[in-house]
Amino acid sequence: MSDVQNRCRLVLILPEGDDLSVRAAMLEGALKGGDVASVILPQYGLDDGLFQKHAEVLVGIVQNAGAAALVAGDTRVAGRVKADGIHVTGAVGELAEAVEKFTPQLIVGGGNATDRHKALEIGDVQPDYIFFGKIGGDIKPEAHPKNLALAEWWASMVEIPCIVLGGTDPQSALAAAETGAEFVALDKAVFADPAQAPHVIAAVNALLDEKAPRFGDK
């Protein structure tokens, strides 16, 4: 197996759904496809009780595959299900509160970095990572140009790792990697056809192995 630590790695965002068994099977199948650094598990419209029920199962699947499980939603649920981290989708103040309360016990990162000014505000609270994009924002084959531009600017000057959202085409992962981002997040590109998810992950990893820039290269 190649050394994935010195190139951009894959982050998955699990789609919404009410049927836990379907979501669990989808996730378990996808994770058999190859290297995944972490999986973001958003709450979507689930109430806290149902979200916790889902997270208890899904977090275990992620961790058994050797990836980090990041809960996006109720932070109490993240603690109860022993998630590895919290993904904050709210404002900078919410992220700052989570960083203060949960680090270093948990990974804490977040987004809403819609421009450079907001990105620097997020950087000031010292999260473990910054996310460029919006969950559910992968609506075109390619990654959003603004997110790519922000990631390239950020990666060139800030040490805090960044995750950039790709598009619906798995090949969009390469454009994200070429920004210098440490991670690319995929949702629809992987899960649009759950039966193909492991093959997509294998293909994306092969693409990144072959063409993604290596960290530390001059």
Q: How far apart are CA 182 and CA 166, in angstroms?
A: 13
Task: Give Cα separations from 103 to 56, 85, 89, 147, 197 (angstroms).
Answer: 21, 9, 17, 26, 32
- Full pLDDT tens readout for the chain, 218 residues: 457 889 999 999 999 999 999 999 999 999 999 999 999 999 999 999 999 999 999 999 999 999 999 999 999 999 999 999 999 999 999 999 999 999 999 999 998 899 999 999 999 999 999 999 999 999 999 999 999 999 999 999 999 999 999 999 999 999 999 999 999 999 999 999 999 999 999 999 999 999 999 997 53
pLDDT digits (tens, 9 = 90+) for 122-139: 999 999 999 999 999 999
Contact yes or no for 26/61 (Cβ under 8 A): no
Q: How far apart are CA 145 and CA 158, in angstroms?
A: 20
DSSP states along 119-181? HHHHHHT--SEEEES-TT---SSSPPHHHHHHHHHHHHH--S-EEEE--SSTTHHHHHHTTT-
* Residue 3: predicted pLDDT: 77
